Amino acid sequence: MSPAKFSRVFHRWASLVVALPVLVVILTGFLLLLKKDVAWIQPPTQRGSSEKLTLSFDRILAIARTVPEAEIKDWADVDRLDVRPARKMLKVRANNRWEIQLDAGSGEILQVAYRRSDLIESLHDGSFF
């Protein structure tokens, strides 16, 4: 193989190797720009109706256990607890990416949905790999 042909073949494959991560960052960045507007990426944040935030941690865990999709048995199965006092609600994010939104006063389940934005973020910043 001549040096010129080798150079062309090498650069063709090298450009694919370099372009693939750049393409992943661009595509996932675009999806992250839309995450608040597209429910498929991130479930919309609901509003609670209770005036006081009265749920205890034990009650939150008990309610989260009732949602079969989340597969929560104890606190080790919970990835994050996100409290939104202004919206009078809180989010329980399970390790399997399911999100439970609760009214912070009554404990009523406002929404159960799969949250893809965390996976997309990990692809975007490279922590997935």
Domain boundaries, given as residue ranges, for the chain? 3-125
Identify the pLDDT of residue 108.
96
Q: What ranges in the chain are assigned the alpha helix state H? A: 3-33, 57-65, 117-125
How many alpha carbons fall within 13 Å on the CB side of residue 90? 22
Q: Do residues 72 and 58 lie in contact, with contact meaning Cβ atoms separated by under 8 Å?
A: no
Q: Angle 3-33/117-125 helices, nearest 10 degrees?
A: 150
pLDDT at 129: 79
The candidate with the shortest Cα–Cα distance to 61, out of 102, 89, 116, is: 102
pLDDT of res. 1: 84
pLDDT at 97: 95
User: Mean pLDDT for each 10-residue chunk of the chain (129 residues)?
Assistant: 91 93 96 95 93 92 97 97 95 97 96 96 90
> Do the Cβ atoms of 70 and 100 come closer than 8 Å?
yes
State how far the Cα of 55 lies from the Cα of 111, in Å rounded to an integer. 17
Q: Identify the residue whose tokens are 């190797």.
A: 17
